Amino acid sequence: MKCIFIKKTDGKGFDVFALRDFRKGEIILRMDRSDIITKKNESKMSKDDWNHVNFYGYKKYFRLKPPEKFINHSCDPNSYDKNGILYAIRKIKKGREITYDYSINGVENWKMVCKCGSKKCRKIVRGKFSSMPAKLQIKYRPYLEDWFIEKEKGSARR
C-alpha cells in the first residue's frame, strides 16, 4: 500500500507527505539503493545529481530515486534513514511533510542555507555530522549507520 505521496509546491520543487498516520519507529519506506555511483559512472553525474544521493558506506553513494529523492531536509526531522530504511522518529500525522536531517552519517564538507522553518533551525547546515552541535550529535547517535561508527573508531585510534 502506498503510504506517502509527492506533491509539487510553489517554488520549492517537490515535497513528500504522509498519506496516513505513522507510529513512532514505524518503517515509512525502503529506499531503492540499486543505482550505485562508481568510478565509472561518476563522471556522468551533474551537480544536481549529487544533490540527490545518499550513503551506503564511507564515501560510498547511491542515487536516490523518487519518492525518497524528494524528501527535504529539516533541522527538526520526523524521520531518519538507517541502512536504506526510513523510520519515523516520532508519531507522524497524515498529511504532514516527511523530512530527515541530511547531516546524519555525513562525512563530506558541504554547507547549505536552511529555511526549514523549525524553531531548531541551524540556518547553515553542514555536511559533516561532527560539525553539528554536540547536543544534537548525542541525540542522533542511535541513527548512525555501522560504517560511520566503524570509521569514527578508526580515526580515534590514529
Q: Cβ distance 101 to 73 under 8 Å?
A: yes
Write b or e for each residue in 48-59: b if 16 or more Cβ atoms lie within 10 A of its Cβ, otherwise e: eeeebbbbbeee
Q: Cβ distance 89 to 103 under 8 Å?
A: no
Query: Candidates 21-29, 63-71, 109-117, 135-143 — which segment interacts with Zn ion by CB under 5 A?
Result: 109-117
> What's the closest the beta carbon of residue 97 comes to Zn ion, in angstroms?
13
Instruction: Decide whether 20 or 139 has the Cβ nearer to Zn ion.
Output: 139
Query: Candidates 17-25, 43-51, 67-75, 84-92 — which segment interacts with Zn ion by CB under 5 A?
Result: 67-75
Looking at the DSSP bridge assignments, the partners of residue 113 are 124
Query: Which of 4, 127, 138, 114 is CA-nearest to residue 55?
Result: 127
104 is a site residue for Zn ion (CB under 5 A)? no
116 is a site residue for Zn ion (CB under 5 A)? yes
Per-residue contact flags (x/-) with Zn ion for residues 120 to 149, judged by CB under 5 A: -x----------------------------
Q: Cβ distance 86 to 102 under 8 Å?
A: no
What is the spatial distance between Cα 126 and Cα 42, in angstroms, rounded to a whole number? 23
Query: Candidates 22-30, 59-67, 103-111, 119-127 — which segment interacts with Zn ion by CB under 5 A?
Result: 119-127
Q: Cβ distance 76 to 98 under 8 Å?
A: no
Instruction: Decide whether 11 or 117 has the Cβ nearer to Zn ion.
Output: 117
Write out the three cell numbers for 93. 500525522
75 is a site residue for Zn ion (CB under 5 A)? yes
Instruction: Decide whether 62 or 99 has the Cβ nearer to Zn ion.
Output: 99
Binding stretches for Zn ion (CB under 5 A):
75, 114, 116, 121
